[in-house]
Amino acid sequence: MNSEQTLPLLDIALLQGYVDSLGKNIVEQMFALYQQQAKVYLADIKKAQVADDSQLWQEHCHKMKGASASVGLLQLHKQLVALEKSTASQAEKAECLLVLENENQLAINAFQDWLNLD
């Protein structure tokens, strides 16, 4: 991902707003749900890649894009914005999926670190 500036992994303002209005326990539950859903989304994206189905690829990337935005995962969301409309080959999408899985794990780790700061 080559961009002039790198986005932070997390939207701290959004997440702190959630904690302030909903409480840390609810944010932890939201995050746990995201983690469960991300596994499903990644599996679905992989199935679409293996089947070389661009429509399913787009649909599943779109779902994960919305989920990542809702829990403030800025870099992951930006990556999914690009992947959703990608016209890359099946092999290129396989590489993109590996990067996506790694970015998702980095975002999850950052979120967990942030939650544990209190």
- DSSP state, residue 6: P
What is the chain's pLDDT, residue by residue, as a tens digit (118 residues)?
A: 444 457 789 999 999 999 999 999 999 999 999 999 999 999 999 999 999 999 999 999 999 999 999 999 999 999 999 999 999 999 999 999 999 999 999 999 999 999 998 5
Q: pTM value?
A: 0.90
Strand partners for 10: 73
Name residue 70's amino acid: S
HSE-CB for 85 with a 13 A CA cutoff:
3
Tell me what pLDDT residue 4 has.
Answer: 42
Domains identified in the chain and CATH numbers = 12-113 (1.20.120.160)
What whole-number distance in Å separates Cα of residue 81 and Cα of residue 72?
Answer: 14
What whole-number distance in Å separates Cα of residue 101 and Cα of residue 71?
Answer: 17
Cβ neighbourhood burial of 91 (10 Å; 0-12, 13-18, 19+): exposed
DSSP string, 22-68: H-HHHHHHHHHHHHHHHHHHHHHHHHHHHHT-HHHHHHHHHHHHHHH
